[in-house]
Structure 1
Amino acid sequence: MLAVDGGSPLLAGNGPAPWPQVLDADRKAVLDALDQATPWHWPMRTVTELEAAWAEFTGMPYVLAANSGTAALHMAIAAAGVEPGDEVLVPADTFLASASCVLQANAIPVFVDTDLATFNIDPARIEERITDRTRAVVAVDLNGLPADHDALRAVTDRHGLVLIEDASQAHGAEYRGRPVGSLGAMSGASLNGSKTLSALGEGGLFATRDEERHRLARRVLMFGEELPGQSRDYNARMMGWNYRIDVLAAAFARSQLTRLPEMSLVRQANGAALTRALEGVPGIRTPVVPEDRTHVYFFYPLLVRPEELGLDDLPVAAFRDALARAVNAEGLGIMRWQPQPVPGQTLFREMRGYGRGCPWSCGHARPGHHYDPAEYPVAEEVCLRRLVLGQSFSSFGPPNDTATMRRYADVLYKVLVEEREGLIALTRRTADSAR
């Protein structure tokens, strides 16, 4: 019997270990940073050590640590020379920050539909969205899988656009032998506590190969002022913010980065093991991983397929919600993520922006902008059918291992195969309650 119907939870007392994994080395790194934090100064040595380590890891010589991935992406947008009224192409299916960083420059996000196989931005749909106002493309490595950056770069180079990589969900993954964080002209990455490279709290990393873009990004980081390390003249040369990272978050992230390669191998093995274990289980589609890249499974996305269980007469949403409820009751954390394409969010549908419709109504943007999620049918379908494992609640990172993945698979097999009739009945009840 399903646990949701009164049966025994399959993972009772045997659930996954949480993420991030905190070792004594991480604790020592944070305490050492605490000891070094007075007298206060900027930049702290711990911060510059994190920047140097990410530069070495990615091969991007110019790195800035910031207080969030959102800040790092805004720094990249500004360093790309994006100005009010300019347009930046963004995936329709992503986290808000991939698009709101464009609004922070008083510029216009223009959305692009999704590749159904990889869930990343579809390179074949880029050119139809380019106008004479387009300045850059934000390519998100969604779920832990790099986007097709070579195909994207072919388009951006042809049109003279800046390719910005949003690496926030995929630290440690590789694309054609190149590490995530090095795949665009610039990259921004989150160090949010749940990420594959975690600061435990919040943090971010900006990286580039271009010294001038690094200089502009640093101005955005610190009040619009010129390079830290020189005597401050307290002269803002452009709009800047206080995007400096907390030193203790930087210390934790720096310690975690020393283990990122081995943690990434564990994640790759875990994801592959779960996919093998779920082969042939009806009602779900497991992730696709092209041969030219690796996946580190920040999320392990599943697309629900109720039609494979003969439930064509019931709404997909009812099956999705019933499956999530049943799996969670068995002790395995699964959830929806991004229930609609970003252009379907109220911010874009109502186009209020900063107020009075800016940036769309501020006189710099071309007329006629609107946002309708129906223009992105693949993203809509993904958002409708997607459930995710991973993040912090059903982690693919260590110390979880392939035995843990076997338990994940056992839950899904129980719900979708052994107790299928119970799941179907729950789906019908869910559909009835929604009417």
Structure 2
Amino acid sequence: MLAVHGGTPVLAPGALAPWPHVVEEDRRAVLRAMDEAVPWHWPMTAVRELEQAWGEACDMPYVVAANSGTAALHMAVAAAGVGPGDEVLVPADTFLASASCVLQANAIPVFVDTDLATFAMDPARIEERITARTRAIIAVDLNGLPADYDALAEVARRHGLVLIEDAAQSHGATYRGRPAGGLGDLSGSSLNGSKCLSALGEGGLFATRDEYQWRLARRVMMFGEELDGQGRDYNARMMGWNYRIDVLAAAFAGSQLSRLGEMTRQRIANGAALTAALDGVPGIRPPVVPPDRTHVYFFYPLLVRPEDLGAADIPVPVFRDAVERAVRAEGLGIMRWQPQPVPAQTLFQEMRGYGRGCPWTCGHADGPHRYRPEEYPVAEEICARRLVLGQTFSSLGPPNDEAVMLRVAEVFHKVLVDERDALLSMARADTVTAGR
């Protein structure tokens, strides 16, 4: 019997360890940074060490640590030279920060539909969105899987565009042997506590191969001031913010980074084990991993497919919600993520921006701009069908291992195979209740 109907759950509380995985080494690193931070100074040792280590990890010689991934992306857009009225191509299916960083430069996000297999920006759909005002492409390594960077770079080179990598979810992943964070001309990464590389709190990393871009990013990070190692002159050269990372967050992230390779290997093994164990389970599509890249499963995305169960009469959203409810009752954390494409969000539908419609109406943009969700049918389908495991609530990271993944797969076998009729009956009842 399904647990949602009173049966015994497959997983007991605590069957999956939460993320991040904190060890004694992390605690010592934070305490050491606390001792070294007095008297207060900037940048502190833990910050410099984190920047150096991330540069080595992603093969990017110039790194700036920031207080969030959102800040790091804003720094990347500014360093790329994006300004008022410029247009930047962004995937329609992503987190808001991939697009709002463009608005922070008073520039215009232009959305591109998604590849159904990889959840990344579809390279075949890019050129139809390029105009004379397009300045950059922001590619997103969604869920922990890098986008198709060689295809994206070819388009970028042909049109003279800067390629920015949003590597917020992909620390440790690779594309054709190259590390995430170093796959574009410059990149922004998140260190949010839930991420594969965690600061426990908040943090971010900007990275580039270009020294001038690095200097611009540092200005954005530090009130617009030029930092030359000789102390501050309190002279803002441009608009800047206070994006400095907290030293304790930097220390925790640096400690985690020293084990990123080991943690990544476990994530990859866990994802492969779970996908193998779900083979043949109908009604869901596990993530697809092209052979030229690795997936680190910040999220393990599943697309629900009631039609595969002979249940095309059940609307996809109703079936999705029934699966979510049933899986949760079995003790496994699962949720929806990004229930609509970013251009469907109120910010882009009402286009109020900073007020009075800026940046769309501030005289620099080439308008009028309108965001029509129906122009992104693949992103809409993904958002309608998607459920995710991962993050902090059902982590694929250590100390969870392949044996734990087999227990996770048992939940789906129970819900979609053993108790399939009960699930479909529940979903059909929900359909009637909803008046669909």
TM-score normalised per structure 1: 0.99
Aligned length in residues: 435
Within the alignment, does 1:387 sit opposite 2:387 as a pair? yes
Seq. identity, %: 76
Structure 2: distance between partners of 1:86 and 1:13: 50
Which amino acid is 1:263 matched to? Answer: M
Structure 2: distance between partners of 1:313 and 1:57: 50
Which residue pairs with 2:61 in the alignment?
Answer: 61
Structure 2: distance between partners of 1:13 and 1:164: 41
Within the alignment, does 1:264 sit opposite 2:283 as a pair? no
Structure 1: distance between partners of 2:32 and 2:122: 45
* Cα distance, 1:179 vs structure 2: 0.3
Structure 1: distance between partners of 2:328 and 2:230: 54
Structure 2: distance between partners of 1:175 and 1:109: 26
Q: Which runs of 5+ in 1 are unaligned?
A: none
Which residue pairs with 2:240 in the alignment?
Answer: 240
Which residue pairs with 1:273 in the alignment?
Answer: 273
* Cα distance, 1:227 vs structure 2: 1.2
Which residue pairs with 1:156 in the alignment?
Answer: 156
Contact persistence 1:42–1:228 (CA under 8 A): no
What does 1:335-354 correspond to in 2, within 5 Å? 335-354=335-354
Which residue pairs with 1:9 in the alignment?
Answer: 9
Q: SS of the residue aligned with 1:94?
A: coil
* Cα distance, 1:429 vs structure 2: 2.2
Which residue pairs with 2:398 in the alignment?
Answer: 398
* Cα distance, 1:13 vs structure 2: 3.5
Contact persistence 1:21–1:398 (CA under 8 A): yes
Structure 2: distance between partners of 1:253 and 1:170: 15
Cα deviations by residue, 1:226-268 (Å, 9 ceiling, x for unpaired): 0152221111110000000000000000000000001001000
What does 1:65-104 correspond to in 2, within 5 Å? 65-104=65-104
> What do you get for the CA RMSD once the two structures are aligned?
0.7
* Cα distance, 1:434 vs structure 2: 2.0
Within the alignment, does 1:224 sit opposite 2:239 as a pair? no
Structure 1: distance between partners of 2:41 and 2:112: 43
Structure 2: distance between partners of 1:168 and 1:12: 31
Judged with a 3 Å threshold, the aligned counterparts in structure 2 of structure 1 residues 352 and 172 are, in CA distance, closer, same or farther, namely: same
- Deviating 4+ runs (over 3 angstroms): none
Q: SS of the residue aligned with 2:311?
A: coil
Structure 1: distance between partners of 2:409 and 2:213: 46
Structure 2: distance between partners of 1:9 and 1:203: 37
Which amino acid is 1:148 matched to? Answer: D
Structure 1: distance between partners of 2:374 and 2:218: 38
Contact persistence 1:33–1:248 (CA under 8 A): yes
Q: Which runs of 5+ in 2 are unaligned?
A: none
Q: SS of the residue aligned with 1:138?
A: strand
Structure 2: distance between partners of 1:333 and 1:201: 21
Which amino acid is 2:259 matched to? Answer: R
What does 1:10-409 correspond to in 2, within 5 Å? 10-13=10-13, 15-409=15-409
Structure 2: distance between partners of 1:228 and 1:222: 12
Structure 2: distance between partners of 1:287 and 1:2: 25
Which amino acid is 2:342 matched to? Answer: V
Which amino acid is 1:27 matched to? Answer: R
TM-score normalised per structure 2: 0.99
Structure 1: distance between partners of 2:131 and 2:146: 26
Cα deviations by residue, 1:299-323 (Å, 9 ceiling, x for unpaired): 0000000011111112100000000
Cα deviations by residue, 1:141-187 (Å, 9 ceiling, x for unpaired): 00000000000000000000000000000000000000000001100
Q: SS of the residue aligned with 1:29?
A: helix
